[in-house]
Amino acid sequence: VFSPDGKVVRRFLGDEYSNIHDMEIREEADGEFIYGARNANAEGIKFNAETGEMILKLPFPEESGLDLKKFAPTAITVAPDGDIILSDGYASNYIFKFDKNGKYKSHFGKKGNGLKEFNTAHGMTLDTRYDPPRLLICDRNHQPKGRLLHYDLDGNFIEEVITGLGMPTSVSIQGDYVSVPDLHGRLVILDKTNTIVAVLGNNEDPKTNRNFNVPQDQWREGIFSGTHGSYWDKEGNLYVQDWNVSGRLMKLVRVK
């Protein structure tokens, strides 16, 4: 946990719960909790944001009747009623739905490049710009270009939100705006009409964008190598996580 100016406040969990590929913070009646998707450890988790106490684990649901050779969750989000939605983005591309206690309820989607299929359902969040809220899903490796999709909370396809993106990795909502990190080395902002209103940190160098191994002495301030995650603070500033060999977090301050 960092302060807004980048100082380390505290640490918890440790190596036992590494490989958190995606996470969301949620205020609930009995406290603040973090939900995480652990791709290499084949599970979703929920833990207390203050104490680090593990509350819930979501392994592959055998009750689904699916015969999967691999389970590698990449994204997690939570519906208003507490249902937990977990995307198996690095394996089957099914999206699984559990109740708030971790009981399997349903799944939807499949791997492919069709309109209602996913080619790496990599990122996902609850799109609160709509009533009722929807799932906003990153179809990262869709061919020929990455795209975002809307599904309802029961797993029914609604629409293709935007196409022609590079490799959208995740989505974060604040008010009418969506932050979309792109692995090509940029961050895209959409407004409520899902129109691109800003492109930030764009890396036009083919040697360093989408490149995990860029050494730290070759980093450029405000320019990304492989944008993987982002989150807004209450003032509209963005904290952006870069996918690279050393790890980097950058704060983008919203222009007043």
pLDDT of 14 above 80: no
The model's pTM: 0.96
DSSP-assigned beta bridge partners for residue 79 = none
- Which residue matches tokens 């684990």? 57
pLDDT of 15 above 90: no
Tell me whether residue 104 is exposed, middle or buried, using C-beta atoms within 10 angstroms of its C-beta: 0 to 12, 13 to 18, 19 or more: middle
Q: Which pLDDT does position 67 carry in this prediction?
A: 95
Domain boundaries, the chain: 10-125, 169-256
Q: Which pLDDT does position 13 carry in this prediction?
A: 80
53: which 2 tokens? 């106490």
Query: What is the spatial distance between Cα 38 and Cα 19, in angstroms, rounded to a whole number?
Result: 5
Instruction: Report the topology of domain 10-125.
Output: Methylamine Dehydrogenase; Chain H (2.130.10)
> What is the tens place of the pLDDT at every residue in 208-239?
999 999 999 999 999 999 999 999 999 999 99
